[in-house]
Amino acid sequence: MELKYYRYFAKQYPLTVVGTLIILIIGLVALVAPLISPHDPLQLHLADRLLPPGHTYILGTDEMGRDLFSRIIYGSRLSLAAGVGIVSIAGIFGTVLGSVSGFLGGKTDLIIMRLMDIMLAFPSLVLALALSAALGPNFRNSILAVAVVKIPVYVRLVRGQTLSVKEKHFVKAAQTFGASKVWIISRHIIPNCLAPVMVQATLGIGEAILIAAALSFIGLGAQPPAAEWGAMVSMGRTYLLDQWWYATFPGIAIFITVVGFNLFGDGVRDLLDPRFRH
């Protein structure tokens, strides 16, 4: 029965299946990185600098003679951590702020929402750049910066949901039993707002990875010698004309990962769309 359902789903949404497979593979690679990478990603082989893809170094080496393939494998850990970390932080804070804003209304709502409007008025990359520069350029701060920038998206989403959920009679019923605002928000409002948040979060992972990589690319994220895809593309850019593989392979890794998450996110959205249910 279950299997039949999955098979039907795969036929109906082949791209979602592709996305899911990509994510699963990348996740697995990140998990077993030390077991499958042929070299130490940080080990310098100064005699083997900038070698093209070949036998010993499958995808070639960088200007310090580090194995690119191993570095890309380890890079998946950082990118996944960045993507999941960013949407988790933004999602959690956004959900709390949005539900409080929507449920309490009045001045609280006004203040929170105007703050979010101010944040939304900046292009997200510019704001993330400024925040990350202000916090000090390292990988953790760049994740925090992007997460903060992404919060308004979730606040708006959850606030809208809250406005409709709070009119439901089960909220009124809880009030008649003397439930506190914290109780109502945490038990009644938030659990009933989560479906669209999950969709937004899965759709947002790809973009979050991209922004985190962009910050690393301009030197505000992961610092050398960390094996981060964005930083690797940035370094490889200098050698692009003569050593094309250096910037290209990390770039392809970013591309595949982001596409995987976007396909998966689209699938989740279709799955949770009430019109999909038969």
Q: Enumerate residues 40-59 that contact other proteins by CB under 8 A.
A: none
Binding other proteins (rule: CB under 8 A), the pick from 173, 238, 256, 276 is 173
Q: Determine what percent of the chain falls in helix, strand and coil, rounding each to the nearest 5.
A: 75, 0, 25
Which part of the chain contacts other proteins (CB under 8 A), choosing from 26-34, 62-70, 116-124, 176-184?
176-184
Structure tokens at 133: 């520069």
Residues ≥6 apart with Cβ < 8 Å to 86: 143, 146, 147, 150, 204, 205, 208, 211, 212
Name the β-bridge partners of 67.
61
Query: Does 179 sit near other proteins (CB under 8 A)?
Result: yes
Assess 188 for contact with other proteins (CB under 8 A): yes
Shortest approach of other proteins to residue 134 CB, angstroms? 40
Residue 177 interacting with other proteins (CB under 8 A):
yes
Q: Binder to other proteins among 31, 191, 238, 273 (CB under 8 A)? A: 191
Backbone angles phi, psi at 43, to 5 degrees: -70, 125
Cis check: omega of the bond before 225, within 30 degrees of 0: yes
Q: Is 104 in the site for other proteins (CB under 8 A)?
A: no
Q: How far is the CB of 194 from other proteins (least distance, A)?
A: 9
Q: Cβ 277 to other proteins, closest distance in Å?
A: 12
> What whole-number distance in Å separates Cα of residue 27 and Cα of residue 29?
5
The residue from 7, 114, 172, 237 that contacts other proteins (CB under 8 A) is: 172
Residue of the chain from 20, 108, 124, 175 that contacts other proteins (CB under 8 A): 175
Q: Is 192 in the site for other proteins (CB under 8 A)?
A: yes
Q: Which is nearer to other proteins, 14 or 191 (CB)?
A: 191
Smaller CB distance to other proteins: residue 179 or 252? 179
At a CB cut-off of 8 Å and minimum separation 6, what does 67 contact? 37, 38, 39, 40, 41, 43, 45, 57, 59, 61
DSSP secondary structure letter of residue 187: I
Contact (Cβ atoms closer than 8 angstroms) between residue 121 and residue 168: no
Q: How many residues make up the chain in this entry? A: 278
All residues at 6 or more sequence positions from 155 whose CB lies less than 8 Å from its CB, including other chains: 94, 97, 98, 101, 112, 113, 116
Q: For other proteins, which is the closer residue by CB, 163 or 252?
A: 163
Residue 183 or residue 255: which is nearer to other proteins going by CB?
Answer: 183
Question: Per the structure block, which two tokens stand in for 97?
Answer: 């702020």
Range 151-170, binding other proteins (CB under 8 A): 168-170
Interacting residue ranges for other proteins, rule: CB under 8 A: 168-170, 172-179, 183, 187-188, 191-192
